[in-house]
Amino acid sequence: MDSLYTAGVRFAEVLQAGPPWLEKFWILVTSQADPKCVFTVVFPLAYFLSRKVGMLVLWTGLVSEWLNVVLKWFLFGERPFWWVHESGLASKGLVTLRQFPVSCETGPGDPSGHCMITGAALWPLVTTLTTLASQPSRSPVLKLVPFAAYILLMMAVGFSRIFVLAHFPHQVVSGILAGAALGWWLQTHTPSTRPPTFFIAAALGLLLSSLSLHSLLIAAGIDIDW
């Protein structure tokens, strides 16, 4: 894993060596793509477009938040900002990296929450926009525009997370793939016709299962909060 981590650090060095205007862009992207924006920005916009799509975005965001935490507990994953010090690369003067206010995230890093949660929650919105765009003219080019924008956005989010040293490249890739797969799967299992009690019970179930799993891992001697 050390060789994979080292390669990721070198890639981050290349990104940080870019022009100043690009630095501002990466920091803006990583700030605006925070998972909480799924609930404060993406959900209201999707709900305005369609109640069903809005509910699906909210549901997908909820499940992806829970799954991301669980996956991180099992996959662990170092974070670049801390690993360069723990590995000794920083003390040896072998890296030229800069710290940013958003660099010092703690806890496991695999998969990237920004990529996974944002990617999953945007999926139903993207597929809906694809359908709407292709209806008037049935042009295959228009049909590809929402997905092209989705891919470019996820790439930008991924690069921004590497730039601020929050994640290694492979953690970003796993987050994007997991998010797209989860979004696709949940879209075919939409609970939009369920009563409100279903969502209340589901939220409580996810919360209690997380707390129980956390307690079991701690009891087993696994320090998931290292």
How do the domains of the chain map onto residue ranges? Answer: 1-220
Q: What is the mean pLDDT of residues 112-120?
A: 95
Please tell me whether residue 90 adopts helix, strand or coil conformation.
coil
d(CA 20, CA 201): 48
Please tell me whether residue 110 adopts helix, strand or coil conformation.
coil
What pLDDT is recorded for position 77? 87
pLDDT more than 70, % of the chain: 95
- Which token pair is 113? 């929450």
Fold observed for domain 1-220: Vanadium-containing Chloroperoxidase; domain 1 (1.20.144)
Question: If we measure between CA atoms, which residue out of 171, 113, 119, 116 comes closest to residue 150?
Answer: 119
d(CA 164, CA 181): 26
Q: How many Cα neighbours within 13 Å face the side chain of 123?
A: 25
Per-residue pLDDT at 190 exceeds 80 = no
What pLDDT is recorded for position 122? 94
| In contact, 203 and 81? CB cutoff 8 Å | no
Q: What is the mean pLDDT of residues 83-104?
A: 77
The predicted-structure confidence for 130-179, as pLDDT tens digits, reads as follows 887 776 666 677 778 889 999 999 999 999 999 999 999 999 999 999 99
What pLDDT is recorded for position 187? 85
Residues belonging to the active site: 114, 167
What pLDDT is recorded for position 93? 67
Whole-model pTM? 0.89
